[in-house]
Structure 1
Amino acid sequence: MATEHADVAGNKIAVVTGGSRGIGRNTVISLAKRGVRSILTFHSNQAEADKVVALTADLGAPAIALQLDTGNAASFTDFSDRLARALAEMTAQRFDYLVNNAGTSSAASLATGTEAELDLQFGVHFKGVFLLTQTLLPLMNDGGRIVNISSGLARVAMNGRAIYGPMKAAVESLTRYMALELGPRRIAVNVVAPGAIATDFSGGVVRDNPTVNKMVADHTALGRVGVPEDVGPVIAGLLSDEFGWVNAQRIEVAGGMQI
């Protein structure tokens, strides 16, 4: 059933890319607890997306799942059309919040990185965020909010992340430009940078490898690795009216990792 936040959220609608798993999944659930309905995207695992839809229905804020490859910019116009139809199903014409969360990992170093890997990471993490946001802006309400997802690796350099980290740093810069240009529409844009989170990302290395898990915990002030439940509520909170005057900011959600 709906929670105490529902009256504040009203009939707000969020679009969350990569909402079937990990941080995106918890973001959709955290929004549902606040009474915000979501249209979430999934890349290939519709079964997991359907599970999220079922959970949000139980929370009184039913969601809709749509397939999307955020690395395929040629598909964005079609996705926009499908999104418009999904909004109509929700008896709406526009949405209020956009969370650019979908991403893919890379373990490439300066020595091993290839042009193909650079193109893939650029396509998903920068080009995809830029062009998808551009495509969807006509369907977004003025006064809305956008949260882009970065990484602690945009701040801290680690071996084997020579492509992934800089791509996320580019997203952080893009966020400030988005905030500047969308100011006249009263759309605030912020970026959340999670630390090492125990999900299936990067093959589940933080979650499933005890050595990596301990290394992360030992370098984190609060003494453990993060979980999706640490991050989703922060994103949902940033989208709320309570944080309406926060704009163009980078918020790291990492428990004090490598400070």
Structure 2
Amino acid sequence: MTIALVTGGSRGLGRSMALHLADHGHDIILTYRSKNAEAEAVATEIKAKGRQAIALQLDVAKSETFGDFADTVNGALQENWDREDFDFLVNNAGIGINAPFMEMSEEQFDQLTNIHLKAAFFLSQKLVPLMKDGGRIINISSGLVRFALPGYAAYGALKGAVDVLTRYMAKELGPRGITVNALAPGAIETDFGGGVVRDNPEVNDFVAANTALGRVGLPDDIGGAVAMLLSPEAGWITGQRVEFSGGMFL
């Protein structure tokens, strides 16, 4: 029995990740920031698949709470699984802020930094002691590290930092058999960034026209990718950035 912890698992990509992992036989700890009802609905859906699932509140923008969150995870593991460790961590929770380089405020930059870089670093730091040797970590990166679109300078730069962090984590956690990889989605139809890719036909058509497979990505494309990277067959991959974008901007 394996347990995966997915941050931001109540909606969007995180929800799809949690459901795909449940389909592959993993139990799930998912986190949510404010929408408890959505998170509990996902947990209920997972339980209907015959797997165990719990939803825990976490604001990844507040690194000062990560120690207490790790204690909560420890208690939940013992209470629900009679275990003191878990197997997989997916650092997924995030937001998008689209602002031109010349208009991005320092407050917006700090918010993105806290959520995308500091959380991947310090949440992992607090949770790795609870991880089983031979476990896996996936940090969610972005196609915007490889290609540039106006309005995403801060977001792309921070995801680039996540890619570098991933390599260092893989190197330092390797002695415990823990693999660490970065999964980089392309443009996906979700409510991310205000749902611009999903809801704006011009943006959707632009992305599809510049993607080798001829369409915009769907949440299940990335949920399936996470399940693949956490499969037994992927155990020899570590320190890598793996892009799942359908061939966007090749």
Category of TM-score, reference length = shorter chain: over 0.9
Equivalents in 1 of 2:8, 2:144: separation in Å?
20
Does structure 1 residue 76 correspond to structure 2 residue 66? yes
Post-superposition offset of 1:151: 0.6
1:166-224: CA deviation from partner (whole Å, max 9, x where unpaired):
01010001000000000100000001000000001011111111111101101101111
- Please give the secondary structure, in 1, of the residue aligned with 2:217: coil
* RMSD, matched Cα: 0.7
SS in 1 for 2:223: helix
Structure 2 equivalent of residue 85 of structure 1: 75
Q: Secondary structure at the match of 2:153?
A: coil
The separation in 2 between residues aligned to 1:110 and 1:201, in whole angstroms, is 20
- Does residue 34 of structure 1 match 2:24? yes
1-structure distance, mates of 2:83, 2:219: 29
CA distance in 1, matches of 2:184, 2:61: 20
| CA shift for structure 1 position 113 | 1.0
The alignment's TM-score, normalised by the length of structure 1, stands at 0.95
Q: What code does the residue aligned with 2:135 have?
A: G
Alignment correspondent of 1:154: 145
- 2:193 is aligned to 202
- 1:6 aligned residue: none
The CA deviation at 1:106 is 1.2
Tell me how far apart the structure 1 counterparts of residues 157 and 103 of structure 2 sit (CA, whole Å). 15
* Paired amino acid for 1:227: L
Structure 2 partner of 1:171: 162
Task: Find the aligned partners of 1:237 and 1:94 in 2 and give their Cα distance.
Answer: 22
1:137 to 2:120 alignment: no
Aligned-pair identity (%): 53
Contact preservation (8 Å) 1:109, 1:163: no
> Which amino acid in 1 is paired with 2:130?
L
Q: Which residue of 1 aligns with 2:224?
A: 233
The runs of 4+ residues in structure 1 deviating greater than 4 Å are none
Q: How many residue pairs get matched?
A: 249
Q: Tell me by how many angstroms 1:160 deviates.
A: 0.5
- Alignment match, 1:250: 241
- What SS is found at the alignment partner of 2:204? helix
Given candidates 27, 30, 33, the residue that maps to 1:43 is 33
Q: What is the alpha-carbon distance in structure 1 between the residues aligned to residue 26 and residue 158 of structure 2? A: 30
Deviation at 1:48, TM superposition (A): 0.9
Please give the alpha-carbon distance, in whole angstroms, between the structure 2 residues aligned to 1:62 and 1:183.
Answer: 29
What is the CA–CA distance in structure 2 between the aligned matches of 1:153 and 1:239, rounded to whole Å? Answer: 23
For residue 51 of structure 1, report the CA deviation from its aligned partner.
1.1
1:109 deviation in Å?
1.9
Determine the C-alpha separation between the residues in 1 that align with 2:228 and 2:2.
13
Aligned to 1:22: 12
1:110 CA drift (Å): 1.4
Q: What displacement does 1:233 show? A: 1.1
Other-structure match for 1:7: none
Q: Report Cα offsets for 1:83-128 as digits up to 9, x if no partner.
A: 1111112221100000000001011221001111111111111111
Q: Matched residue of 1:20: which SS?
A: coil
Q: Name the residue aligned to 2:205.
A: 214
Distance 2:130 2:171 in 1: 19
> 1:181 maps to what in 2?
172
In structure 2, the residue corresponding to 1:163 is in which secondary structure?
helix
Q: Quick one: which amino acid aligns to residue 244 of structure 2? A: V
* Distance across 2 between alignment mates of 1:208 and 1:109: 21
C-alpha separation in 2, matches of 1:169 and 1:108:
18
CA distance in 2, matches of 1:151, 1:93: 32
Report deviation, 1:34.
0.9
Corresponding residue of 1:106: 97
Query: Can you give the 5+ residue segments of structure 2 that lack an aligned partner in the other structure?
Result: none
Corresponding position of 1:65: 55
Q: 1:4 maps to which residue?
A: none
